[in-house]
A and B are shown apart, each in its own frame.
Chain A
Amino acid sequence: MRPYTLSPRLAAPTSVNAMIADVVVALIPALATGIYLFGWEILANTLVSVGFCLVFHRFYGLLFGRPRHYSDPSPWVTGLLLALCYPSDLPFWVIPLGAFFSIVIVKELFGGFACNFVNPALAGWIFIQSSPYILSEYHQPRPMVEANLLDAISSATPMSYLRQGVIPPLSPGEMFLGFHSGAIGEVSTLMLLLGGCYLLLRHVIRPTIPLTYLGTVAILTYIFPQNGQDAYYWMFSQLCSGGLVLGAFFMATDPVTSPVTPRGTVFYGVGCGVLTVLLRYYGSYPEGVAFAILTMNALVWWLDKLGMPRTFGMKPFTRQKAIFSTCLRGIQSLGAFSRKNTPTSMETTPKFSKNQDNGEGYGGILVYVLVFFLVVGGIHATHSLTSLQVHQAKESQTLALLQSAMPKGTFMSEMPYQGDDFDTIYLVYAEHNAIGHCVSLVVDGFQGEISLLVGVDFGGAVTGIAVQSQQETIHMGEKVLSQEVLRRFLGKSGTLSLEGDNAVDGITGATLTMSAVVTGVNRALELVQQLDELPTWIGGDA
């Protein structure tokens, strides 16, 4: 028996307005760096952006008469973050458009403050970014322009270097302090870290999300550097470039759109990191932070269910085990057998199941995931098996190769031959009659391997040579591997050489490539000669 009370009569010295104010304060160093690097118009941009956000928020409230008992301070943060995501020079209508999309469409239409399911600033930024040409030009910082005695020029951001698998040509200090082109707020990693530490010390955000996010990105980029770059510096460049730190400390930690459960925040941070690295490596945009965070925002409801904390007195992972057993039951019930044969929940639940949640209903999602993967796999397999265009293209390519190696041939089949890994011998048919052999082989050329298809008739003479693939320089490849030169091999048999008897005319300046082709043709002739006995069914009717 506890009387219904209004206790406690104490409260921690915090409030939503104070949290919002703390976020604004934490963004001031980054904004100041932006003003220092790109000029005073940045401050004007920021003020206009915040102003438009407040105006749209107010107008929506006036027009649609949403009853409010509280003040909504979130447009301040939305406007500030939007301004920090823009480049230094931008068309005048971008700022009101971004503010309109963020405030009205993403936030107010979904129910106002604390009802949006994605971060308004990020959504607005992506909306602007997806316009064709607006935000693609990033100017160099003013101090660097002055030092180089240049006009304000647009230059590639570090992200666009990293997108091509190249480490940006900047010193670590420049990367960390922000002396490179990019959006206003994201350039200076140092100032963003300062602001993030302020938020952590003020207990506005929890450290789990930034730590797991940045840690996942660091680990993945360290393990998988692109193009064999130095792993440490690749990781450092990935961490310091783009909007990663801004996103990890200010966007992903938005309380409205991040999970509340401690385990859920870990899943969320790891998911953001993995998606960011995947999008940066394989996406069509150079930057993947925004899409990664928006995707994980949409999954928050599920992460919170998955990460429900262990109630005091329950054994660890009881709920997770229960979810797993529910999944197993769901999978079993998917089968053709009736539900009567499946085990009941009482068999798998632990000792104190009577008092505890046994995870009913949470596990069903895994069944859906399984079904999803099965369906996707099935569709993919069907498509790859039945894709006519792909097969037709392959067939016509093979036929073209064959006809340049043996002009009369229409069809070839592989012969049982165990030799070098790259050597394959085909039997070539014209209509239904075998007319000769084709040998597919690989020889070492001047710069790399050359894959050849050499046609040899039953008399042991070369009928043609087709180049399947080569890595020679354009100069030499054009010279040697042209049809004109390759036609010199026609009708030759025995052992060829570049000089003396049975010689093939060489090409000056490309001796190595020519000798490689001669070696290949010799090997093909030798291989065909070694096929001492022809199968009895060959040429029966010829």
Chain B
Amino acid sequence: MFRLLKGGIHPYSKKESTRKKALAHPVFPPSQIVLPLYTAREDILEPIVRLGEGVKIGQKIAISEEGHALPIFSGISGTVSKIGLEFHPYFGKTPAVVIRNDFKNSKITLHPVEKPYEISAKQMMEELSRLGVRGMTLEEEPVSDKIRRHLGKASTLILNGVECEPYLTADYRLLLDRLDPIMKGAQLLAQVLRSDTMVFVVQGDKIPAVEALEHHPLWDDDYMKVATVPTRYPYGEEKQVIRLVTGQEFHKNMSSAEGNCVVFNVATAYAVADAILHGAPQTHRAVTVSGGAVKRPRNLWLPIGSPLESLFVNGEGMKEDPALILLGGPLTGIAQKELRAPLLVSSGGLLALAKREIPPHLLEDTPPAPMPCIGCGHCLPVCPIHLMPNMVHRHMKKPHQNPQILAKFQPDACIGCGCCNYRCPSRLPLAQSMAEAELIVAEYQAQVAAQQETPAPLPLPPALEEDMVMILVEEENNGKIIPLVPDKTEEPPEEKNAPILEHPFPTEEYLPEFDEDEVIILVEEPVPPTKGGLG
């Protein structure tokens, strides 16, 4: 069923250590959770709990006043112990709510939909945004937004269980252990989106998941399929999956709605089923704790916001000193130094890698100077987007970059998979050069657009930034609020001496049939001020 796809690499898989370990509840639940108020979509949330207030599992913690960010919920029961700056895995210190666990696991009463299988699209979108269901990618796009974009434009519903990164088995175990909710969630999504076919995509090393899917009681051969894709990275990226399943290729700015298909992660389908059938908010996720330094690697079902150190506690500690701790897979994961940082919705795994598992030049954050580019061209065939990373890198090495030349290489189409870095024999930071080139090109294109268009009035500072500043200031000045953002500027006064055209038509010959009334109306209409007008 899959079609031949160019690009990609085949790194070692290392999934054997966790692939036979079922998804487990933590033996040692986290003693506290940290819920960042700064989201991956750069929104600031407003906490609605107070310091010292008791919270239950599933209670709403923070909302967005403007309404375009989803609320977040607590995954444990306990008391709010701190509202202030805490570590974030990506952004240093950000405002966050800290909840201390009382280990009672008291839950709020849930209000599920009455007839879930007759739910309308509008009701489902409202329900999903009420319960804060987000996608499992790094962008954390709300699922309701994705449904809205694809309404009536998704005849093929693709459930993505590829999980192409080494070490990670969380989605695979979710497919095996929680298949029932996943099937129900997929059915709900297909029903709302009016999809004809439903395709589960798994990688070639996940044959037990294929068997489990095909023997499930809800399985229907008429409109369900399983597509097994080659075991290569990055075949789990959304556009690669669409290419493999439907044969359509989407350029960087094209939406998958143009191809009449939509991709959801299997974990997202699980969250949708949980929200619609039980009315439960998205508070937990499946995580793989693995790596050569972990004593007992395993798959865990953990509340979102658990500190990373609590994951290693559940892995029964380290058997040796980890050289590197990564949130995410080894190919796109981000190194963590502060283990108090919380688990995010997008984190599929936490790896503690031993020194022997990492190439020596990647151990430290300041790698040694690489060899020059010898032009071997190995980075071209592995690029899934068919870009030319070596050319971009060569250009970025020059003292002055020409954005017009860089734009020809289309660095903005890069998905940042890092295949070029993996393959490069000179150990060049090609993907990083590509990201820098993307910034230069974007800046240049913005300049060009600004020159071409008429200068628009400057936008007012958004209220969200104001909130951000206030929170920070509150933290620093012990609660005194000093507004830094100036008041809204007044609208410019209307021009008083607006010129009025007294005789728009030179002679009466052009208007022989017009009545006097109409002419008068034309004359009395306000005329917009023109540059260098008659006045």
Contacts and interface: CB of A to CB of B under 8 A. Distances in A.
B349 to A, nearest CB: 13
A258 to B, nearest CB: 7
Given A9-B326, A314-B251, A19 B376 contact: yes
Chain A residues touching B, majority SS: loop
Contact of B254 (A2, A203, A313): A313
Task: Give the residue among B239, B333, B422 with the most A Cβ atoms within 10 A.
Answer: B422
Contact of A260 (B326, B377, B426): B377
Contacts of A12: 9, 11, 422-423, 425
B344 to A, nearest CB: 12
B260 interface: no
Given A16-B374, A70-B371, A259-B377, A9 B425 contact: no
Contact of B425 (A5, A14, A259, A355): A14
Given A114-B373, A308-B388, A6 B432 contact: yes
Contacts, number: 166
B369 A69 contact: yes
Nearest to A115: B372
Interface in A232-257: 255-257
Contact of B42 (A1, A10, A357): A1
A311 B331 contact: no
A379 to B, nearest CB: 35
Contacts of B205: none
Contacts of B9: 12
B375 A6 contact: no
A389 interface: no
Contact of A352 (B42, B251, B376): B251
A325 B334 CA distance: 45
Interface string A310-347: 11111000000000000000000000000000000000
A278 interface: no
A311 B413 contact: yes
Nearest to B389: A260
A155 interface: no
Contact of B138 (A1, A115, A310, A311): A1
A11 B362 contact: yes
B40 A2 contact: no
Interface string A1-39: 111111111111011101100000000000000000000
B372 A2 contact: no
Given A11-B421, A308-B388, A2 B380 contact: no
A312 B413 contact: yes
Contacts of B253: 354-355
Given A15-B425, A113-B372, A311-B410, A10 B432 contact: no
B416 interface: yes
Contacts of B251: 311-314, 352, 355-356
Contact of B166 (A6, A10, A16, A115): A10
Contacts of A261: 377, 380, 388
B330 A8 contact: yes
A8 B418 contact: yes
B219 interface: no
A111 B428 CA distance: 19
A7 B332 contact: yes
Interface residues of A, number: 46
B425 A2 contact: no
A255 B41 contact: no
B431 interface: yes
Task: Give the residue among B334, B377, B387 with the most A Cβ atoms within 10 A.
Answer: B377
Nearest to B370: A70
B335 to A, nearest CB: 7
B41 A1 contact: yes
Contacts of B40: 1
A278 B367 CA distance: 49
B84 to A, nearest CB: 23
A260 B390 contact: yes
A206 interface: yes
Given A2-B416, A70-B372, A114-B372, A9 B390 contact: no
Interface stretch (B59-67, B353-361, B460-468): B353-361
A309 interface: yes
Given A1-B41, A311-B410, A357-B408, A260 B249 contact: no
A262 interface: yes
B254 A4 contact: no
B381 A262 contact: yes
Interface in B38-60: 40-42
B166 A7 contact: no
Contacts of A309: 380, 386-388
Interface in A290-323: 304, 308-314
Given A3-B90, A70-B371, A9 B416 contact: no
A70 B369 contact: yes
A261 B386 CA distance: 10
Task: Give the residue among A8, A265, A304 with the most B Cβ atoms within 10 A.
Answer: A8
B87 interface: no
B252 A355 contact: yes
B410 A357 contact: yes
Nearest to A313: B251
Contacts of A304: 391
A512 B24 CA distance: 109
B377 A7 contact: no
B359 A10 contact: yes
B368 interface: yes
Contacts of A314: 249, 251
Nearest to A352: B251
Given A11-B359, A357-B407, A258 B353 contact: no
A428 B423 CA distance: 82
Contacts of B410: 311, 356-357
Given A2-B435, A255-B374, A256-B374, A11 B422 contact: yes
B388 A260 contact: yes
B365 interface: yes
Contacts of A308: 388, 408
A9 B371 contact: no
B280 interface: no
Nearest to B414: A2
Contacts of B388: 260-261, 308-309
Given A6-B367, A8-B332, A260-B377, A313 B249 contact: yes
B196 interface: no
B139 interface: yes
28 contacts: A1-B41, A1-B139, A6-B335, A6-B365, A7-B333, A7-B421, A8-B331, A8-B332, A9-B324, A9-B326, A9-B331, A11-B424, A12-B423, A12-B425, A15-B427, A16-B371, A70-B369, A113-B371, A255-B375, A260-B388, A260-B390, A309-B380, A311-B251, A311-B410, A312-B249, A312-B384, A313-B250, A352-B251
Given A11-B362, A257-B375, 10 more contacts: A1-B41, A2-B416, A9-B353, A11-B421, A12-B422, A15-B425, A15-B427, A260-B380, A261-B380, A262-B381
